[in-house]
Each structure stands twice: as structure tokens, then as C-alpha cells.
Structure 1
Amino acid sequence: LKSYLDQVEINILDNLDLFKGQRPTREETAEGVVVDYLREYEVNVILDNTELKECPVVIESTPTYTNLFGTIEKFGNGSGGWYSDFTSIKSGSLLRANGGYIVLNAMDVFTEPGVWKTLKRVVLHGKLEIQELGNQFQISSSILKPEPIVIDTKIILIGNNEIYSILSQGEPDFNKIFKIKADFDYEMKRSDSAIIEYARIIKKLVEEEKLLEFDKTALSKIAEYGARYAGEQNKLTTRFAYIADLAREASFWARDVNEKIVTAYHVIQAYEAMRERQGLYESKLSEMIKEGTILIDTTGSRIGQINGLAVYGTNKHSFGKPTRITASVALGNGNIINVEREAGLSGNTHNKGVLIIAGYFRENFGNKIPLSFTASLVFEQGYGMIDGDSASVTEICALLSCLADVPIKQSFAITGSVNQKGDIQPIGGVNEKIEGFFDVCKLRGLTGNEGVIIPHQNKKDLMLKEEVVKAVNEKKFHVYCVSKVDEAIEILTGVKAGKLLKNGRYETNTIFGLVEKKLLHMRKLMKPVSNNAQKKTTERKHKK
């Protein structure tokens, strides 16, 4: 600053005639441009942080080139041309954050023209050059070229893992610039402090966006939906944009009926309205089930047929619906055919699940009896890709039904992953799956026999809609939590699974005992076939 003032002093002494009135301070050139000789003594303060007591933290929501790095403005001179001087230099948010932090959206940074290239240069060299965006693409040039400003700003990019992965692998300088990656949790423990945090967010929305006040019942219901979104009773989602949208719509519905306070009723109304707007596909599936286009049984019993459960939708709206899974068996060598895989409609995880099913049968029945059957499993009326292993226990139960010749009650649906030892493992989307089957059963009239079987680990995830909870309390609908395949097949068939006796055989007149009996019978049928095949092979060898 002292050096600058010394230069100003020298310049004034060299131009004293301007200050003595011996020559005009403003003149018009032949081109019609007005020249103000005193303008060079003006000061252009491009940044003033004198009022700042802490290091600056700037959140740039619109990181265009000009907003981020600044620019040199141009003005028309009245004759079709443009002019600019040092007072036209304007700073951007990056300079305002000098000595502190700036927060940017990663997607914006990499889609705005010229931003990433310039930002990379600033960070790598620690210097900021203020210039027009046109200079970057050689579209236009500026007469002014301000000196580079030494800058020390920490940059925080906000983005998802997909963007980070693409940039870290595809942009050589990305890992040099951004050396620290921090993952933000998408959920938090459901505690008093977390609920208070939800209340603070709602209060801020009320103040900033002039929403109606929320009473305790409304806040409690929002927290409940936050837990449902997180997928667990003891967790709350940290996707606050979802919570904010729910609060805004609840306020709208309350104001629509001239209420002064938002209650739980309005939150429920908002939630249901949000689901309805995005529920076209769900309603179409329900319509096809109702009309019988999609075949789903909820009464009676059938051998080798069972109701599985699937989740459809996006991260904003998901829903569950039952799907018919069937199994068939015949004489063979122990192979289990995954029809979806043969048709190219099965993902890797589903393929793995079918292989685990084969392991389960070898573990339980293949030690003393050769598995002399071939089985096929299919998701009926499924024409798209299928993945995941959450139907593994469903498929095992369908096969057990086939081999034991014991029908499965169609009033039940079941979901769950399973291992080779028969332990049932947790799955995702448990609330949507239960509600999906409940809706189908309700459509046809609840009799009190309907229910869903889920893994016991998913009990803590239950955040069912009030309609389902009421039906369960009134014993019109049932939710069973199981830990073993044995428990599931007993509920589905009403027949004991059966224990392994000391002689290595299963109890008679049980599911496993009947399966064992069927396998022994199939083995006897296979022996003549095997003997005939061996005899023909021997005869061919003798002829040679």
C-alpha cells in the first residue's frame, strides 16, 4: 500500500496542472470518447474483508466462470466500440474465500464452461488471474491484464461416489488437487438429539419460507417417515432435502384448508400425495393383478407354487408387489435350472442365490442319497432382468413342496436370503414388500389367514403404514419372523419340517422325511436307466 501511495504522489506532482485548473480534467477525443484524467486516481476495491473476524466460508451455489473467478467488464463507448479500465475489474467468490474455504457442487464445476480448467490452474499454481471467459476460448481479448493474485483457498467439492470415481480415474490432476475424500453418512441414530435436529430444520424452513408452524404430532410423524426412508426403526435419514419437501407439502395442505398449524394429519396427506403422484406404474400393476392379467393366488394351496415379493421403483418412490414363483422336478442328476439365467434375464447375485440353493439340498439330502432329480425354477410372467438373492428362501420352499408333494398355502408370501446351512438372512425393502402383498390381499378381502414371512433380522426395520399395523393388531393380517428354512416351510404348509434321527434319516410324515422318501424313490427309478445306459455302452465297445 505504501508503495502504491508513493507512486500516486509522484504522479500528482507530474500532473499538477490538472489540479491547478491549468488544463481541463475531462476532454472528448476525435473518436467521441470522453477521457476523465482524474479517473486514474480512483481506487477499485475488488475485495474488502475488514469486517471479517473469522476465516471466510463461501458457498457458491452458481459457480459460473464469472461468479467464481471474476471478470473485466466492458462498456459501450457510444460509437459501436467497447472500453474498460481498471475500475472494470470485478472479483469472484474464489477471491472472497481467500484464506478460508469455498464449497462447490462437483457436477456444476465440471459442466460450466472453462471452470474446471481454470480452477485446476489456480489450485496448482496458487495464483488467480482475473480475465474474461472469452479469453479462455480465444473468442475475444481484453486490453487489460491484471497481475496474478496470490491466493490460498481450500476447495470443498460436494458430489456422489459415482462422480468421484469417474474423476479420480479419468482426470489425471484430480487426485493431485483433492487428496482427501470424506463420506457423509446417509443416516443417523434415532435419538433425542437427532429429533431436535429435525425440528431445527423444520423451524428454519418455517422462518425462511413462511411455512405454517408444525405441532408435536407433525414433527413426530415427519421423524417417523425419516425412519422409514432410512429403512430402520432406530435410524433417521440425513437426506434433509426429502424431509424439507415433505414439510413444505404438509404446510401447503394445511394452508389449503385454512388451518393455522400443521398436524400429523397434514404430514400423512402430504406423504400419500407424494406417493400417488409417482405411483402410476404401481397402480398399473395393481390393476393387472385385480383383472387377473398378472396371476397371483391368495387363497387355496398348490404344490410347487409360492408367492415371492419384489420391490420396484426409484430412490424417490419404491413399492412392493407379489410375484408367482414355481418349481418343477423330474428325474435327473441333481441340477437346478435357473430359467431366468437360461433366458438371459438373471443377474449375477440371483445366479449365486440359485447355486446356494443347490448347496442347501446337497447339505441336507445329498450326503447319503444321490440327488436323482433335475429341477427348474422360474419367476412367472417376468419379462425383465431379475437380480438379488432375496427370493432364495422362496425358491427353496417351492422345491421342498415339489419334492415332498405337499401344497403351499397361497395366502402367504415370503421373502429372505438364505445360506447353504439353511439360515435365513436379511433383505432390503421389507416394508414395501409387506405392504405390497397386503394391498393385494385387501383388494380381494382379508380373511385373517393372509400374512408375510420375513427374516427375523428385519424386525427392527419394520415401519409399516398405519393401515397394515391396524390389520395386524386386529389379527386380520400376519407378519412372521423366521430364522431357519424349517420354520418357514412349517408356516407355509402346516406340516412339521422334520428332524434328523440317529439313523441318518428324517422323521416320517414330515417335509424333510417326505423329500427323502421321494429322493429314494427317484433313485430306484434312475437305476434301471443307468444300467441300460451302461449295458449299451459295453455292447458298443464289444462291437468295436
Structure 2
Amino acid sequence: MPGKFPEIPAQELRAFVDPATLPFETTASIEPLEGGVVGQERGIDAIKFGMGMKESGYNIFVAGPPKTGLTYIARTFLEEQAKKEPTPPDWCYVFNFKEPDQPKSLKLTAGRGKELKRDMEEFIQTLQSKIPEVFDSDDYRAKEAEVHQAFEKRRREIIEELSQTAREDGFVLQFSQVGMVIIPANKEGQPMSQEDLSQLEDEERKALREKSDEVQSKMKDAIKRIREAEAEFKEKHAKLDGEIALFVVGQLMEHYLEKYGDEEQVQQHLKAVQEDILENIDDFKKKPEGQQQAGPFPMPPREAAFKKYDVNVLIDNSETKGAPVVIESNPAYPNLFGTIERQAWLGALFTDFSMIKPGALHKANGGYLVMKALDLLKWYLSWEALKRALRDGVIRIEDLGELYGIFSTRTIRPEPIPLDVKIILTGDPYLYHLLYIYDDRFQKLFKVKAHLDDRMDRKDETVIECAKMLGRFCSQNNLRHLDREGVARVLEYSMEMTEDRDKLSLELGDISDLVREANYFAGLENAAFVGLRHVEQAIEKRIYRSNLIEERMRELVNKDIFWVETTGEKVGQVNGLSVLMTGDHEFGKPNRITATVSVGREGVVAIERESKLSGNIHTKGVMILSSFVKERFAHNKPISLTASLCFEQSYGMVDGDSASSTELYALLSAVSGVPIRQGIAVTGSVSQKGEIQPVGGVTRKIEAFFHVCRHKGLTGDQGVIIPAKNVRNLMLKKEVIDAVEEGKFHIWPVSTIEEGIELLTGMPAGELQPDGTYPEGTLFRKADERLRQIAEIVKEFGKSDEGAAKKGNDEGGGCPSCGR
């Protein structure tokens, strides 16, 4: 009977890529793919638009499945385009002489940051050697001595004048450790002793005290004049030092001011440096000491005084070609925004502008920063700070310890740096939708969505592009190139991944891993190129590493522990096909699906649903097949039955609607009493109108049932029924195709339930006639008659129940349900 139905010819069971159609011998002989990206026109167009829109808010979210190589595509394309853009400037941090705890940021032309640092080091070293020489010269000493002598002469004159005045008034001027002292003198001009003073009369003592007060007043005036002379001396000395220092410093600084004439911020900083050096010229007068011994402690005070003239080159773009493209794999706050390091000194922590370290935002400033969205969202503080930075347009380096109150010590607050960066986040489309809905700032900051596809159309030009991409990948990773047979097999594997012979997979992660693994097996043979057998071996070994559970399942089926029948006929029993997933591996598994029918009013009951082992989609499928039964058989009578459906020997969750047609076949068989051929397995979902709809995993399902039939013996009547719309998804192995060619195994496409049930039972399904009945000798006629019998039985029992209830009420008004 199955031979009467059209089968899928063997040549349509798999799509092949003919190596002879490939216009190259190996991937080494073709030009690498320009841009490195294939089949992502929609996403690339969006990325180009986002790169071109320089206005704020047009950051890019690259959305796509994880294995499509989101980061690789973003980086590869961005790096190509970024080379054409201008190189961003260097950024440095320097000491702020007005606000020491707020280091200043300097913007310089690319490559001049480290040049400024080198120049400042050279400048300070030159001053350290030249200034001591100048201040140690004979010319300077002569001028200093002249100023000092003038001060000493003036001081002596004031002291001599005061001494002469004291002698005239009968006093002697003496000097002690506490300063000048006025002592009364005798007639010989010698200081009076205590005995001499005690012998004086009261009037003499009083007169002496009055004169002493006058002389003390004159002495105070003299001291004041000496201090004024001393201040004048210091001023002249400082002026002299300033003139000498300005001559040396200004002469050297003039060269750097001229060199950095087009750098306005550098000019301002150099002038501030010059002013500070002149104010602290004494720090430069001493000759530099020998090299200090290195150790874990801060530098000596003398060196620390010069450290404020250093330049901390935060970002050096001297070797950057075009705009930078930075990939940040760990976007923690310090990695993203930079850090302020601390150094321990005698139990305390200190920091300065030289300990400011850049983050990924600084490195990518003026270019592009690529991050995985999920990695970024794991760091809540980083995500919020990034949105704030994009909104404000500046990068602030803030100390985490101060933000959270961990450190109470004083720290520095570097001047913010203007932010000009394009953020590229990569992630799942579902994550994009969540952020778009629940984060109000996200849609304002990431206005460009670059949606990447996981597959592309299989055309002649796309096949060549894929081959070029494989060649580029092999060259970049120092792998053996593939010959044309190897390329053809990789392309077929790509179609297997998509489960569509008209599509090629864009899951670059899996494809690249396959090429690496094939290269390994080619290396074991010392082959020059990766060929067909190496790719086949890589695929087989990849499956072998992951299919332990599949083999255990197959063993249980072969030993009839999991019961699957492949011969004979049975009522209400069909072989269904499902797909099991173990994370890294998917495989098909046959299941016995049974149906029982009895008198009742519960309708169609799925045992999996009642036992809470049914998913929502499977439950929906059961409800749909119930609607089909009503549509076909409840047009002229009520349907009153209790039917139960069960996946036999299933001990886990059941979900999906791919078995809904199988369950319907089992139900129709149970109702009609017509047996079903057990050598045929079925997959496909059903609509309320009886249409067979396409499902996933048909290739794996067919191969799973084929293995069971082969183990138990191929009879030539066995096969699988699949939806007609799934023919394009078939990529079966050679062993299955060979069995089909030999007529030992069959694959039938069906479009309706009627086609499927006729193939399974060998009996016509039947079409509804104008009188509301189905033709004699059809399966639907048998089912309709059985349902009518059940309805009548239920009706008769309903009358009996009503009669018993009425009699009970007449006798005593008892309750018909409990007898009371």
C-alpha cells in the first residue's frame, strides 16, 4: 500500500555542492574577502550609518545570535573603516599649580604627548645642572657680595649711631644671645655692677631709669631700621636671584614655547611651570646628588619637589593609524573609566597626578569602543556611569573608594576629559528589546540597531564569498588552506546547520571551529591542504565527542527497553519522532504514542498535561487536534467521548507541537478501530483545518528512526512521513540516501491529515458528503459511526440518570448524586 503514494526521490534528500563548480583549486589561490564580512548587508549598512552619524546618541547595538561572531564582525568592519578616519589627539595629565588636588588635562596633537614628557624631563635636568653653576659663578658671587656688603654697612652705621647715642647718655651698648642690651656706665665708661647700682641715691636711680627709657626707645627705632634694611636686602637678593634665574629659565623655556606654539594648553602649562620654578628657585640651587638606591619607598624630598614638573602621558596615539578600535572584555568600572592608584608610605596611602591610569574609554576616545552588552550589564556601576558619560560628554576618573565611603583620606580629582567615542554593544536581540523597553536612557543613547542574521541565501556569488572568507580566516590564523573538496563539504555542513538547502549558515563560531579541527586532522597526515576526508573526520569526531547520551538512548531502543515497533499493525498506536537536546548536541528519538477511547464526556485528555509534564506548545497542539475532531465529526451531533493520549515511556518534559499530527493519527485509529502500520514513523504539526505544517529537526528525526529500522531489519515497507514543506530542509546522511535508492526505506511528504492517515492505514480517509455523512469503506465513516454510537450510549445513560433522579424525588426528595 505505501508504494501507491509519492515518495521523495533520493536526489532530493540532500543538497550537494559540486566541487567542480568552484572556480579555484584551493582557498590560497583566491583573493581574501574584502572587509572580512559576508552575508550581513543589513547589519553592515546599519553600522556604516552609525559610524557616519557623528551626532550624540547614535551609538550602535549589534544584535544577533551568539554564534554569528558579533564581536568579530564589529571589530573586523570597524578596523577597516577606522583606518580612513583622522587619528585622535594625545591626552596628558599635569600638576595644577593653582589647585594641586585637581590635576589638569592637556590635549596635544597625536604623538606629541610623549615628546612633551621627554622635553620636560630634559628641561628640568638641564635646570638642575645649570642653575647651581650660575649661582656658583664668580659673577653672581660678586653681585651677591655687593648687595650683602651694602646691607652690612647700613647695619653697622645704625648700630654705631645707637652706640654713640648710648655713650653720650651714660650707657654702654652690648650684644648677647637675646640681642642688643643697654647697660648703665660709670665715669670710666665701664658697665656698672650691681653694687654700684645699689649705692646710688633714689634720685640718681630715678634719673638713670628715665635716661634708660629714652635710650631703649632709640634702640627700638634702630632695630626697626635694621629690619627694614634686612628686608630691603632680602628683596634685592631675591631680585638678583630672580634676574639670574629668569635669564637661565627664560632662555631655555623660550625654545619649548616656540616648539609648542600651536598647542594652546601646553603653552599655558609651560608658563605656569616657569612661574613656579622662579618662585621655588632655591630648590634648584643645590647640585643633584648621586643616584638614590631603588626601593619600595617614595623618592627623597628633593626629587619629590621636581616631580610636579613631570608629564603623565595618559593616551599616546603616536603609533595609532586612523581612529582607535578598542575591545573591552571586562568592562568593570576601573577598566572602563581609569583608576587613581595609591602608594603606601609609613602606613599611609598617598597619590598624585602621575598615578592616574587610563581606562578603555580614554583609549577609545576619538574612535570606537566595542563591548558585549551582557558583560557590561553585569557591572551595574559601569553601565550607569557609561550612560552618564555619554549624556555629559566627558570622562570623569572618580575614586571608587571615595564614592562608596571606603576611604576617608583626601584624594585628587582629575579634570574631566571631553568624550568623543562611538560605543558598539553586541548582544542578543532579546536583550536589546529588554533594554529598549525598560531602560529609558537606552533608546536615547543607542539609536542604531545593527541586526545580524544567522543565515543567508545560497547563491553562486555567496558561495564564492564564503570560500574567500574561509581563505582569509586560514591566512589570519596560520591554518592550512582548504582544497575545493574541503570547501564544498564545509558549505554542505553550513546547510546542515541551517536545516535549509537554500541557506548558508552565518554562525561563524561553529564554522571557524570546524576549520580549525579539520586543520588538526590534516596536520596528523602532514597534508598540504585540508581536504574532504579531513572535514568529514572533524564532523564525525565532533559528534562522537558529544553523542554519548544519544548512543545510550539508541542502545535502550535496540534492546527493546524503550519499546519501538517497526513491523506489524496496531490500533491506536503510532511511532512519533522527537528531538532531544543536550546542550552541545541534538539528536532524534522515536517514541510510541498511543491513544485510547472510551464512553464519557471528558473529551481529549493528554496524560502529559495532566501529569504536568507538558509544555505550553504541546498543550496547544492537543487543543488544536481536538478542534480538528470537532470540525470533522461534530457537524451533525455532539461529540461525547473520553480519549487519552500518551507518550509511552517518556519520563521528562514534552513540549512542541511537532507530534500533534502523530497524536491525531493515533486518535483517529483508536476511534475508528483501523490499525496503523508500525513500520512508519510520523512528524509534523497540524492545523485546525487538518493541514500538515512544517516542523524542525526533520533530518535528525528521520535518521533516528532509520537506525532503529536498520537494527531490527529493513523490510522495504518502512519509512517516515514528513510535512511536504519540510522537503527543502532535508540533509540526510549517505547511508539513508542509499537505503532509499535501494527501496529499503521510504520518505513520504504529506500536506493533509487525510493523506497521512491513508498512507498509515491503507484505507481512504473519505470526504464529507452533502448529507453530512462519509462514504462507506472510509476511515472517517468508521470514526463517525463510532462517535455516533458513543453519543447515543451517553444519551441513554443520561436518560437513566434523569429517571432515577425523578423517582428518588417522588419517594422522598433524596439527592440523586449521594442518595441522601
Q: Would you call these one fold, judging by a TM-score over 0.5?
A: yes
Deviations 1:319-360 (A, max 9, x none): 110111001111234711111111111222222211211211
Deviations 1:132-168 (A, max 9, x none): 5555544456743210111122212112245445555
Checking the alignment, whether the CA contact within 8 Å between 1:321 and 1:436 is kept in structure 2 is: yes
Tell me by how many angstroms 1:63 deviates.
3.0
1:125 aligns with 392
Aligned mate of 1:158, from 407, 411, 426: 426
Q: How does 1:242-261 map onto structure 2 within 5 Å?
A: 242-261=510-529
Question: Structure 1 residues 280 and 175 mapped into 2: Cα distance closer, same or farther (>3 Å)?
Answer: same
Tell me by how many angstroms 1:4 deviates.
3.2
2:784 aligns with 516
Aligned mate of 1:11, from 266, 270, 273: 273
Question: 2:369 matched to 1:102?
Answer: yes
Tell me by how many angstroms 1:464 deviates.
1.7
Checking the alignment, whether the CA contact within 8 Å between 1:331 and 1:522 is kept in structure 2 is: yes
Q: How does 1:204-223 map onto structure 2 within 5 Å?
A: 204-223=472-491
Deviates more, 1:370-379 or 1:289-298: 370-379
1:23 aligns with 286
1:33 aligns with 299
Checking the alignment, whether the CA contact within 8 Å between 1:226 and 1:237 is kept in structure 2 is: yes
Aligned mate of 2:713, from 424, 436, 445: 445
Amino acid at match of 1:501: Q
Counterpart CA distance in 2 for 1:408 and 1:376 is: 17
Counterpart CA distance in 2 for 1:374 and 1:113 is: 55
Counterpart CA distance in 1 for 2:744 and 2:708 is: 14
Question: 2:480 matched to 1:480?
Answer: no
Tell me by how many angstroms 1:311 deviates.
0.7
TM-score w.r.t. the length of structure 2 is 0.61
Structure showing greater radius of gyration is 2
Checking the alignment, whether the CA contact within 8 Å between 1:114 and 1:133 is kept in structure 2 is: no
Amino acid at match of 2:383: W
Tell me by how many angstroms 1:383 deviates.
1.7
SS at match of 1:413: strand
Q: How does 1:34-49 map onto structure 2 within 5 Å?
A: 34=300, 35-36=302-303, 37-49=305-317
SS at match of 1:316: coil
Checking the alignment, whether the CA contact within 8 Å between 2:522 and 2:534 is kept in structure 1 is: yes
Instruction: Decide which structure has greater helix share.
Output: 2
Aligned mate of 2:774, from 487, 493, 506: 506
Checking the alignment, whether the CA contact within 8 Å between 2:273 and 2:309 is kept in structure 1 is: no
Checking the alignment, whether the CA contact within 8 Å between 1:65 and 1:113 is kept in structure 2 is: no
Amino acid at match of 1:225: Y
Deviations 1:292-330 (A, max 9, x none): 211111111111000011111056321110111001111
Counterpart CA distance in 2 for 1:404 and 1:535 is: 32
SS at match of 1:371: coil
SS at match of 1:452: strand
Counterpart CA distance in 1 for 2:576 and 2:387 is: 52
Deviations 1:66-113 (A, max 9, x none): 432223445677x77766543433322212322332110112213358
Counterpart CA distance in 1 for 2:532 and 2:715 is: 30
Deviates more, 1:478-487 or 1:344-353: 344-353
Amino acid at match of 1:452: V
Amino acid at match of 1:23: K
Question: 2:264 matched to 1:2?
Answer: yes
Tell me by how many angstroms 1:488 deviates.
0.4
Amino acid at match of 1:443: H
1:424 aligns with 692
Deviates more, 1:143-152 or 1:475-484: 143-152
Amino acid at match of 1:160: D
2:678 aligns with 410
Aligned mate of 2:704, from 433, 436, 443: 436
Tell me by how many angstroms 1:177 deviates.
3.8
Counterpart CA distance in 2 for 1:202 and 1:64 is: 35
Question: Structure 1 residues 52 and 403 mapped into 2: Cα distance closer, same or farther (>3 Å)?
Answer: same
Checking the alignment, whether the CA contact within 8 Å between 1:114 and 1:136 is kept in structure 2 is: no
Counterpart CA distance in 1 for 2:359 and 2:298 is: 33
SS at match of 1:158: strand
SS at match of 2:313: coil
Question: Structure 1 residues 514 and 134 mapped into 2: Cα distance closer, same or farther (>3 Å)?
Answer: same
Aligned mate of 1:93, from 330, 338, 360: 360
Deviates more, 1:204-213 or 1:7-16: 7-16
Question: Structure 1 residues 524 and 122 mapped into 2: Cα distance closer, same or farther (>3 Å)?
Answer: closer
Counterpart CA distance in 2 for 1:39 and 1:328 is: 91
Structure showing greater relative contact order (alpha-carbon pairs closer than 8 Å, 6 or more residues apart)? 2
Aligned mate of 2:731, from 463, 481, 494: 463
2:559 aligns with 291
Question: Structure 1 residues 24 and 467 mapped into 2: Cα distance closer, same or farther (>3 Å)?
Answer: farther
Checking the alignment, whether the CA contact within 8 Å between 1:350 and 1:389 is kept in structure 2 is: yes
Q: How does 1:289-328 map onto structure 2 within 5 Å?
A: 289-314=557-582, 316-328=584-596
1:532 aligns with 800
2:613 aligns with 345
2:501 aligns with 233
Question: 2:669 matched to 1:366?
Answer: no
Question: Structure 1 residues 3 and 369 mapped into 2: Cα distance closer, same or farther (>3 Å)?
Answer: closer
Counterpart CA distance in 1 for 2:613 and 2:276 is: 86
Counterpart CA distance in 2 for 1:396 and 1:227 is: 32
Checking the alignment, whether the CA contact within 8 Å between 1:311 and 1:433 is kept in structure 2 is: yes
SS at match of 1:288: helix
Checking the alignment, whether the CA contact within 8 Å between 2:376 and 2:383 is kept in structure 1 is: yes
Counterpart CA distance in 2 for 1:20 and 1:75 is: 24
Question: 2:647 matched to 1:379?
Answer: yes
Question: Structure 1 residues 152 and 416 mapped into 2: Cα distance closer, same or farther (>3 Å)?
Answer: same
Deviates more, 1:226-235 or 1:320-329: 226-235
Question: Structure 1 residues 299 and 221 mapped into 2: Cα distance closer, same or farther (>3 Å)?
Answer: same
Counterpart CA distance in 2 for 1:200 and 1:331 is: 67
Question: Structure 1 residues 136 and 436 mapped into 2: Cα distance closer, same or farther (>3 Å)?
Answer: farther
Checking the alignment, whether the CA contact within 8 Å between 1:226 and 1:236 is kept in structure 2 is: yes
Question: Structure 1 residues 122 and 6 mapped into 2: Cα distance closer, same or farther (>3 Å)?
Answer: closer
Counterpart CA distance in 2 for 1:239 and 1:534 is: 67
- Percent of residue pairs bearing the same amino acid type: 41
Amino acid at match of 2:489: K
SS at match of 1:44: strand
Deviations 1:177-223 (A, max 9, x none): 44444432222222234333433442233223322221111112112
Question: Structure 1 residues 425 and 32 mapped into 2: Cα distance closer, same or farther (>3 Å)?
Answer: closer
Counterpart CA distance in 2 for 1:10 and 1:503 is: 106
Tell me by how many angstroms 1:493 deviates.
1.1
Checking the alignment, whether the CA contact within 8 Å between 2:635 and 2:772 is kept in structure 1 is: no
Checking the alignment, whether the CA contact within 8 Å between 1:132 and 1:142 is kept in structure 2 is: no
RMSD: 2.9
1:278 aligns with 546
Counterpart CA distance in 2 for 1:20 and 1:331 is: 108
Counterpart CA distance in 2 for 1:74 and 1:530 is: 89
How many residue pairs were aligned?
542
Deviates more, 1:517-526 or 1:121-130: 517-526
